[in-house]
Structure 1
Amino acid sequence: MTHPAHSTPGTGGRCPVATPLYGPQLDGDGLPALYEELRREHGPVAPVTIAPGIEAWLVLGHRELLRLTREEQDFSHDPRRWSLLREGRVPPDSPIMPMVGWRPALLFADGQQHRRMRAAVSDALARINGHELRRSVRATAERLIASFADRREADLVPHYARKLPMMVITGLLGLDDRTGQQLVQAIAGMVAANADSVNAGKRMGAILLALIEEKRRTPGNDVTSALLHHPAELTDEEVLHNLVVMFVAGNQTTVNWIATTLRILLCDPAFRSSLTGGHLSVDDALDVVLWRFPPTQNFPARYATRDLRFGGQDIRAGDMLLLGLAGANQDPEILPADGIPVIGNRSHLAFGAGPHTCPAQDPARLITRTAVDTIRHRLPDLELAVPESELAWIKSPWSKGLAALPVRFTDPQLPSVRTPASSSISQSGEPS
């Protein structure tokens, strides 16, 4: 496998040689090997660049990542502490700024300010009715499957995994389908870390600001309205940027989780047989993905609040440290001897750790589980349409997602169309 070429960061020689985590040469299939090479060469904390001239430390050790996420006195979430930014060494149009630029959102706050915003976000998410969400995901999944069932083939990334979370999550936020699709396109452009990322971030902000103005005037039973009217009294700007964090974290992560789980079921006959025979559950498959192919590979960022020795490296105040979630999951210090995670073990770091652990992991799991389970039952003879070796990952320093998942099938088991008499409203007028 060819790794990205090494480069020397502009830090006056105090850093070891750094490895780029960006560019068209980024090989998604080779990322696990790259992380292990970095671990062998540098230990649990490795020097990387995430854009031209932008250096950071990638935390690959499981123990070190736990410390990074738990000890806010040493590692802040606030990018305004970032020395490269303070020194004017990050161009305003840098493709990474939409991901790491400061926002008044829980992801960029410490201490009491973080707890205030997290309370509002957690309470808004807790209001989601799990039974209703499951029904919504299943109905959406069945509509999507029906849209390509007659062709007896599909690409499950654009036709299923990418559409389903968007349709569900935008509904939770209170957006209509058309505006939701525009939001997804804007966010995809933002996280791509390319020349259009800044403009894509502006398009995303405009869509969400219009939604907030609407829900301020006319509240509904949605997450946006819950945030706007929470006792924490978030400002419109805080609601906007917390929605950005929720959607960016929720949508693409769930897309990747669904597609990669389906890949395992299609490419691992033993696993699929165990699942069909009831020896394993869909949740077991979801956990294998979170261990081996976490939907978010690397996550920005923490900033050192002081000079310290960390993971064998000399970290300076203001240095950026990235959460190497995928690398930390493969830390040989915590994996079994055979390197295979134990089924049912959820001590992975796919959702982060510490006070900033992802607050949306329960609805994300419900969406993914239902999406995978529905397509398994509706397309029981689903099979991969190309050799597994031809499947490719998207090229991103942050996400681990399939670029395509072409499949074929012969006998779709679509639900019968229900008559009005057998709809969700019973004869008495109550929900059935």
Structure 2
Amino acid sequence: MTTPKPEAATVPPPGCPMHQGAGVTAGVTPLYGASVSEDPHGLYARMREHHGAVAPIELEPGVEAWLVLGYAELLELTRNEQLFSKDSRRWRVPQEGRLKSDSRLLPMTSWRPTLLNLDGAEHQRLRGAVADTLARIDHRQLRQTTETAADLLIDSWGPDGTADLVAQYARRLPLLVFTQLLGLPAEAGPHLIELISHFVDSSEKSVRANAEFQAILLDLVRQRRAAPGADLTSWLLAHPAGLTDEEAVHHLVVILVAGNETTINWTGNTLRLLLTDRRFRATLTGGRLTVADALEEVLWRDPPTQNFPGRWATGDTVLGGQYINAGDMLVLGLAAANADPAVQGADGVGGNRAHLAWGAGRHVCPAQHPARLIVETAVETLLHRLPDLQLAVPGHELAWRPSPWSRALVALPVLYSAFTPPRTPAPERPSWTPPAVSPPSGSSPSGSTPSDATSTPRTPASGKPARRSWWNSLAGWWSGR
């Protein structure tokens, strides 16, 4: 569908019922509940059929918004800051007193002084600080760190040949990496991931969890301000952009929530695809599709963030044939836009990175390369260590978390009977030394498949280093040892 150019659009006059928001309340689809988790693709297809590229939705009872389903419309939305701002203070729902003080939407929509909530020059200042900080990560060390953490998690599993790849792997692995990247203490990991899950899932504990989460990070910022180290927190504070403590805390929230949650979901969804799709199962025996192919297909069909809030209209306008009122929220339907028939070929879309899983425009995610490296390493390490991995339940019995934002599995139970040793001995905690020259922004990990190895019977004590290094201590915490 071609969207009318805003400057040429005819917006209803103030006296018209459409100007008062009748268009956003007629035929509204709830973006919560079972339909979002059980069959989001069917839900988005029905919304597209009934409403076109932009559909009226309800985020919670009495709180309306628009879901942008069209690929072209989402690009227009993200590229036009003059009409569609990132500043959530423009949202008319809380201005009209219709957002409850304990609303589950608050952690995901409240304004913060971050690159996610600002436009123009101030956004560029903060984005530059985050992008430059992430660019200081040594990708070789990051791959080694991720592989070491993955090996230690796998070695911590019992000898019964069963595991839940969400609870015991995908959900634990990123925190093993991120706690070190940010300079957080090892024991903070389990509590942080619990807090993150509460406000990403919009649970009843989301507001309190959000406040506690920020308090932990404020303490970290104050410590690193007084005694800098070789970590992301210290580098962010030292950036010429001159972030205040408040700005630094809020950007650590962005890095941890956006980075950790997306990495968890991307890992879990990729492993699900590899275990349920015959095209990818052949990868383990030399098929033509690789882990890198699986990563891209997941970003097209089941991106870790399926919907993202949002943009707020700065004035009355038209998008996708819908009349948008000033102060309306527009939610980025990333999964829906990827499935737009206008960009789907006869055999679907694959083999390219034109998806919108990372967003678009000036607010496109700046952490794509380290995220890809962590997930690819996590998946390849698991396939190398457990070459006969298979689902413990039929694929259709897998359940999804009831989140309007994340596309994430509740569990991924698997069976295995053999394993291979780690590729290299697990090192002590590696030091994070800033490289002399920042790696090129276009660098990315290879798309190689796991190398073949001879399987050996699993024994309870296999693969565990004799000394309890920092890595062993943190993995033991996760495992309850």
- The number of residues matched between the two structures is 413
Q: Which one of 417, 429, 441 corresponds to residue 410 of structure 1? A: 417
Q: Which one of 369, 382, 385 corresponds to residue 392 of structure 2? A: 385
Match status 1:19 vs 2:24: no
Contact 2:165 2:412 in 1 (8 A): yes
Question: 1:275-301, CA deviations, whole angstroms, 9 ceiling, x for partnerless residues?
Answer: 641522211110000001011010001
Alpha-carbon shift at residue 272 of structure 1 (Å)? 1.9
Any residues of structure 2 matched to 1:178-193 within 5 Å, and which?
Answer: 178-193=187-202
- The 2-side partners of 1:424 and 1:155 are apart by 28
Which residue in the other structure is 1:110 paired with?
A: 119
- The 2-side partners of 1:416 and 1:167 are apart by 19
Alpha-carbon shift at residue 29 of structure 1 (Å)? 3.2
Distance 1:64 1:27, change over 3 A: closer
- The 2-side partners of 1:89 and 1:33 are apart by 30
Question: 1:227-252, CA deviations, whole angstroms, 9 ceiling, x for partnerless residues?
Answer: 11100001110011111111111111
- The 2-side partners of 1:418 and 1:233 are apart by 41
Alpha-carbon shift at residue 93 of structure 1 (Å)? 1.5
Letter in 1 for 2:105: I
Contact 1:149 1:412 in 2 (8 A): no
Alpha-carbon shift at residue 268 of structure 1 (Å)? 1.2
Letter in 1 for 2:361: G
Alpha-carbon shift at residue 162 of structure 1 (Å)? 0.2
Q: Which one of 369, 372, 377 corresponds to residue 370 of structure 1? A: 377
Q: Which one of 101, 105, 116 corresponds to residue 110 of structure 2? A: 101
Contact 2:279 2:289 in 1 (8 A): no
Give the share of equivalent positions with the same residue, in percent: 54
Question: 1:296-347, CA deviations, whole angstroms, 9 ceiling, x for partnerless residues?
Answer: 0100010001111110100011100000000000000011023x212x2110
- The 1-side partners of 2:300 and 2:244 are apart by 37
Contact 1:250 1:360 in 2 (8 A): yes
Any residues of structure 2 matched to 1:231-310 within 5 Å, and which?
Answer: 231-274=240-283, 276-277=285-286, 279-310=288-319
Which residue in the other structure is 2:223 paired with?
A: 214
Contact 2:35 2:43 in 1 (8 A): no
Letter in 1 for 2:156: S
Alpha-carbon shift at residue 419 of structure 1 (Å)? 10
- The 2-side partners of 1:271 and 1:294 are apart by 18
Match status 1:359 vs 2:366: yes
Which residue in the other structure is 2:183 paired with?
A: 174
Match status 1:325 vs 2:295: no
Alpha-carbon shift at residue 374 of structure 1 (Å)? 0.2
- The 1-side partners of 2:73 and 2:178 are apart by 33
TM-score under structure 2 normalisation?
0.83
Moved over 4 A (4+): 416-420, 422-425
- The 2-side partners of 1:116 and 1:153 are apart by 48
Which residue in the other structure is 2:470 paired with?
A: none
Question: 1:156-193, CA deviations, whole angstroms, 9 ceiling, x for partnerless residues?
Answer: 00000000011111211111221122222111111121
Which residue in the other structure is 1:55 paired with?
A: 64
Letter in 2 for 1:202: A
Question: 1:76-128, CA deviations, whole angstroms, 9 ceiling, x for partnerless residues?
Answer: 00011111122222122211011000000000000000000000000000000
Letter in 2 for 1:397: P
Alpha-carbon shift at residue 416 of structure 1 (Å)? 8.1
Which residue in the other structure is 1:312 paired with?
A: 321
Distance 1:423 1:260, change over 3 A: closer
Question: 1:206-227, CA deviations, whole angstroms, 9 ceiling, x for partnerless residues?
Answer: 1111110111111111111111
Which residue in the other structure is 2:213 paired with?
A: 204
Which residue in the other structure is 1:5 paired with?
A: none
- The 1-side partners of 2:70 and 2:285 are apart by 35
Distance 1:44 1:386, change over 3 A: same
Contact 2:36 2:403 in 1 (8 A): no
What RMSD, in angstroms, separates the aligned Cα atoms of the two structures? 2.1
Unaligned runs of 5+ in 2: 1-19, 432-481
Question: 1:338-388, CA deviations, whole angstroms, 9 ceiling, x for partnerless residues?
Answer: 3x212x211000000000000001100000000000000000000001111
Distance 1:419 1:201, change over 3 A: closer
Distance 1:56 1:95, change over 3 A: same
Unaligned runs of 5+ in 1: 1-10, 426-432
Q: Which one of 203, 221, 234 corresponds to residue 194 of structure 1? A: 203
Match status 1:350 vs 2:360: no
Contact 1:275 1:282 in 2 (8 A): no
